[in-house]
Structure 1
Amino acid sequence: MSSDPHVSLSESEVLLRPVGCTNFKLRQLTRRVTQHYDRRLALSGLKTTQYSLLSHVDRLGPLPPGELARRMDMDASTLSRNLRPLLAAGWLRMDEGVDARTRVLNITDAGRELRRRAQRHWKAAQVALNQQLGPATVVALHELLDKGLAAFHLADSD
């Protein structure tokens, strides 16, 4: 497709031309989905971001914070800000890594138990979202999101 506004577009290009700001639309959907999950997870005392961090460290840990940020597609400052309350509450622990200069995140027994209890609330949110949007829409959404993330990862590796 030409970037010159004076060049006419084919019918298929006009039909496939995005309308509106993709970032705004994604953020709108993300806010609504986050609110949906947060309402359910609040019953466990966690927010969606906290549950996600506990789950990732439980599944992947022990691991350095930078590796966790990379695996979650987060920047280091956002991760650091989101880790603070989990570390303060004793649900995660920052331990010495292979040497005195490195650190690794570990989930504590209390964090693992909280994540386990919160998982039923997360599951309820997941089931309710699938019902509200319909399984076919959720599957299609996952495919589109995975494709979009893969395109960014490919561009990052160039």
Structure 2
Amino acid sequence: MQSLMSPTNVKDPLVCNGAALRKATRRLSQLYDATLAPCGLSTAQRSILVHVERAGSPTMTELAGAMVLDRSALARNIKPLERDGFLTQRPDDSDGRSRRVELTVEGRAKLAESNRLWRKAQKRFEEVYGEERAAALRVALAEIYSEEFAMAFGNP
């Protein structure tokens, strides 16, 4: 019987790297989403709140760039967070066409609530996958989603 930790096709040169990453992302999102469920946020929604908190009040363009999302996908993902009162948008003072995204008081509280659950999911992932392997995975993935990698790949 094959081990759960070593799929048989990983060395097959015909296996698409992109498809493998998407599968892994979907699986990990399922696991984190299940852990975050009690607070009512998905992993994707929490990620938006985290990115907004880190940036202060980014423009939609800045936030989309930081999240490696196109603006239309970001706009669709922000709508439920605005509806629920966790985010607000306001015009950018320097450019009437741009919008800035900000956490509301409720958004900060929801993010704080989600942090405890997220830490639980993160800890569990590192227990199962291994702390050192998890750290190395984050480094490798950061290289892949970097602007430098996109430029080297030929897709700026």
TM-score (norm. length: structure 1): 0.83
- How far apart are residue 139 of structure 1 and its match? 1.8
Give the Å deviation of 1:63.
Answer: 1.3
Whether 1:152 and 2:150 are equivalent positions in the alignment is: yes
- How many residues get paired? 143
1:97 aligns with 2:95: no
Counterpart pick for 1:44 among 39, 43, 46: 39
Pair 1:126-2:122 in alignment = yes
Cα distance in 1 between the residues matched to 2:152 and 2:69: 16
1:47 & 1:54 partners in 2: Cα distance? 11
Question: 2:88 touches 2:101 (CA, 8 Å); kept in 1?
Answer: yes
Deviation at 1:22, TM superposition (A): 0.9
Quick one: which of 103, 106, 117 aligns to 1:107?
103
Give the Å deviation of 1:18. 3.6
Which residue identity is paired with 2:150?
F
Indicate yes or no: 2:67 matched with 1:69: no
What is the root-mean-square deviation of aligned Cα atoms in Å? 1.9
User: SS of 2:41's equivalent?
Assistant: coil
Structure 1: how far apart are the matches of 2:36 and 2:97?
Answer: 36
Q: Which runs of 5+ in 2 are unaligned?
A: 1-10
Moved more, 121-130 or 53-62: 53-62
Deviations 1:33-75 (A, max 9, x none): 0011101111111000111101111111211111100011111
Percent sequence identity is 34
SS of equivalent residue, structure 1 residue 20: coil
Deviation per CA, 1:103-127: give whole Å up to 9, x if none: 1111000000010011000000000
Asked if 1:26 corresponds to 2:21, the answer is yes
Higher relative contact order (CA 8 A, sep 6+): 1
Relative distance call for 1:156 and 1:58 in structure 2 (3 A) is: farther
Point out where structure 1 has 5 or more consecutive residues left out of the alignment: 1-15
Which amino acid counterpart does residue 59 of structure 1 have in structure 2?
Answer: R
TM-score w.r.t. length of structure 2: 0.84
User: 2:134 maps to what in 1?
Assistant: 138
Instruction: Point out the structure with max Rg over C-alpha.
Output: 1
